[in-house]
Amino acid sequence: VWDARLTSELVLLLMYLALIALWQAVEDPGRAARVAAVLTLVGTVNLPIIKFSVDWWNTLHQGESIFRAGGATIYATMLWPLAVMTVAMTLFFAALATMAMRNEIYRRRLRTLELGAAAAAASAAVAGAAVGAGARR
Amino acid sequence: VNHAPFLIGSYAATAIVLAALLAWVVLDGRAVARRLAALEARGIRRRPEKGGAGA
């Protein structure tokens, strides 16, 4: 069960869940982004481990079968759909990530505006109370 | 062995998940844009408008 590729992918999943938990745990978005960025950078160490896990350890998973000297060992009827879907998924997630980033920028602008409006309303209330107190004297 | 049910099921499940992801991001964007527009309609902006800029 503890195949090297599966286990390294499991570590990746756990790190992803930790990233989500970390992001949700810190209230200030700026601080949350910094902490999450650090964890993301640390997490990238896992990527080459996943990639080379099939070469470093003797596992049930097949060895390198695409980018290898002597050409790919996958049959063409599987290799081409794999290549097309890899490009398609990469482009789709690039588009999705760009849209989500725009949403996040809008969300932060919204938060800034709401905080500014709340602060302005609070200072106006304090000033109003001070004026009222002065008039009563 | 007939693999068609597995292949069609896999593609269908993937298509549903991707469509749901896309819908989530698009609807989230619209909701945030709507809230921003509502704030701007109340005169709450990031920077004060320059007086007579367009006049």
What is the per-residue pLDDT across A20-29, written as a single tens digit (0 to 9) for each?
999 999 988 8
Q: Cα torsion for B23, B29, B32, B34, to the nearest 10°?
A: -90
Q: What CA–CA distance (Å, rounded) separates A98 from A93? A: 8
- In terms of C-beta density within 10 A (0-12 exposed, 13-18 middle, 19 or more buried), how is residue B41 classed? exposed
**Residues on chain A touching B29 (C-beta within 8 angstroms):** 99, 102-103, 106
Cβ–Cβ contact B46 with A under 8 A: yes
Which residue in chain A has the smallest CA separation from B21? A96
Q: Which tens digit of pLDDT belongs to each residue from A28-75?
A: 888 998 999 999 999 999 999 998 898 888 888 878 888 888 888 888
Testing the interface with B: which of A85, A92, A96 to mutate, by most B Cβ within 10 A? A96
Does the predicted model carry a pTM greater than 0.90? no
- Of B25, B33, B16, B21, nearest to A113 by C-alpha is B33
**pLDDT tens digit string along B1-55?**
899 999 999 999 999 999 999 999 999 999 999 999 998 888 877 766 565 544 4
